[in-house]
Structures are given as structure tokens and as C-alpha cells.
Amino acid sequence: MRAKTVCVLLACAAGAAGWHAAVMRAPVHRPAVSTMSRRAFTIRPIVAQAAAAAAPGPEEAPLSGFAKLKASLPPKEELKKIIPLAIMFFCILFNYTILRDTKDVLVVTAPGSSAEAIPFLKTWVNLPGAVAFTVLYSSLANRLGRQALFYTVLGPFLGFFGSFAWIIYPMRDLLHPVALCAYLRSVLPLGFAAPIAVFQNWTYSLFYFLANMWGSVVVSLLFWGFANEVTTVSEAKKYYPLFGMFANVALVFSGQFVRYVSTPHPSPPAGRGHLIAPDCT
């Protein structure tokens, strides 16, 4: 019985396999579709899409002038960053232009000084000072955060220039060692004229050094480092050219400001001189 059962099962399995193979080999008969029907099926969706596109839609109301202006403005999130950055850049370059126009005048027209003091300042004051500042900045960058580093570096510049206008320059006669430098000129060779002039007018020399450092440190290092940190790449591509426009506007305003304050007034207040008052005595 078991042998017969096994034989029957094997026969059934072989028959099922044969029928499955036969069905797989048999051709599939599909209903024929005419060429015209196929073209109709293809053309109907295209015609329906064209008709839907040609159908008149709801008319859009024209935008007013204020709406067009509002649509052309950047998003509010970007304006919160771009407007303060533009104002910062304007103020920094406004100050830089004034400092650049003032530093050479102070040194060249100072008592006991001349144009030969400028190369000495560039070589023996600016270069060592820049190297020392680089070392100091690297040390501060490793210890302070970005915000604290920004204010720590910017604070001494603002403190010195503010005190120069209100304290140092009015007290220049007391601060400059005129008698000592006159004695040094009498005992030293003529080649020491430039370093003696720099030492005699040390407040002007310090002003010259910090005015030069303002362009390198505040403009190139602090501002652009801060701008690159708070803006994305796409925002930088859109708005950095506008910062260049603000820079040109700042140069124009600062030039007019220097021209105004350097023009002699008919009756200056008693006890006050002009911003740029050469003293060649």
C-alpha cells in the first residue's frame, strides 16, 4: 500500500510538472487591437491635457506698488542679519577713512618731525607691532569665544581713539618729551633724526600704528570673520556685493566729513583748535 501510494504521488507530481511546463510554453492569445484604436488611446489624453491648459483660469489681481516692493525685499529672517551687518560695515569704513586721512598729517606736521619718519614707522613700529598682535590674537582666540574675542579686540581701539580726541591730543604738550629729544638731537648723529622724531611725538606714532591696524584687524579680521560666521553661502552670494556698495558710500561720507571739520571756521570757540592743526614751531 505504501509503495502504491508513493507511486501515485510521484505520478501526480510528474503530471502537474508537465502541465505547468506546457502552460508556460503555450503562446498567450491577446485580443487584437487595431492601429486606429491605439492612435485614439494615445491622442485622447493629449487632447484632454491641451483642453485643460486652454481653459481660462481664475484671473489674478494685479499687485499694487507697495506689494511689488514688499515682494522684492529679502525675507525678514535675512533682513535681521543683513541690515545690522551693512550698518557695521559702513561705520567701520567711515572710521577707517578718517583715520587714514589723519595719521599721515599728524606725523608729518608734528614738531621736530618730517616725512622721513613715515618709513621708520612702517618698518620699526608697524611690522613688529603686527607680529606681536598676531601672537596675542592667537592666544586670545584659544581662550575666548567668538563674541568675547570680538569685543576684547575692538575695545582697545575704541578706547584709544576716544581718549586721543578728548585727553591725549589736548595734553600733547605735557606728554611729549620735547626737552629730552632736543638734547638727543644735539649729541646723536643726523641719522637718528627719524627715531628721535617718532619718540618725541610718541602719541602720534601710536595713533599712526593703531590707524594702520584698524584696516587690517577690524575690517579684514573681525568684521569679515563675524559676517562669514552668521551668514550662509547663498546669503553671502546675494549680499556681499551690497556690502561693497556700502563701503563706497562710507568713503564718500567720510571724505566730506573730513573736509568739513578741516575747514577753518570764522570764529572757533575759545580754547579750542581745529581737528587738524599743524604746529611747525
pLDDT at 28: 39
Tally of domains in the chain: 1
| Helix spans in 55-192 (H) | 65-72, 76-108, 117-121, 127-143, 146-163, 172-175, 178-187
Does residue 39 lie in a domain region? Answer: no
113 near 199, Cβ under 8 Å? no
Does residue 226 lie in a domain region? Answer: yes
pLDDT at 26: 39
The type of residue at 273 is G
Angle in degrees, 0-180, between the axes of helices 202-213 and 127-143, rounded to the nearest 10 = 60
101 near 261, Cβ under 8 Å? no
Burial class (CB in 10 A: 0-12, 13-18, 19+), 35: exposed
> Would you give the DSSP letter of residue 264?
P
Does residue 162 lie in a domain region? Answer: yes
pLDDT at 231: 86
Divide the 281 residues of the chain into consecutive groups of 10 and give the mean pLDDT of each group: 38 39 40 45 49 51 58 72 88 90 91 91 93 93 89 93 94 93 92 93 95 90 88 86 83 84 66 48 41
> Would you give the DSSP letter of residue 27?
P
170 near 69, Cβ under 8 Å? no
Residue reference for cell 585727553: 167
Does residue 189 lie in a domain region? Answer: yes
Rounded to the nearest angstrom, the gap between the alpha carbon of residue 166 and the centroid of all alpha carbons in its chain is 32
Does residue 257 lie in a domain region? Answer: yes
> Would you give the DSSP letter of residue 192?
G
Does residue 244 lie in a domain region? Answer: yes
Does residue 76 lie in a domain region? Answer: no
* pTM of the predicted model over 0.95: no
136 near 152, Cβ under 8 Å? no
User: If we measure between CA atoms, which residue out of 206, 248, 214, 212 comes closest to residue 92?
Assistant: 214
CA distance 110 to 279: 6
Domain extent at residue 166: 82-261
74 near 82, Cβ under 8 Å? yes
pLDDT at 37: 45
pLDDT at 103: 92
199 near 177, Cβ under 8 Å? yes
pLDDT at 198: 94
Find the farthest-apart pair of alpha carbons in the chain and give their distance in angstroms, rounded. 140
Does residue 125 lie in a domain region? Answer: yes
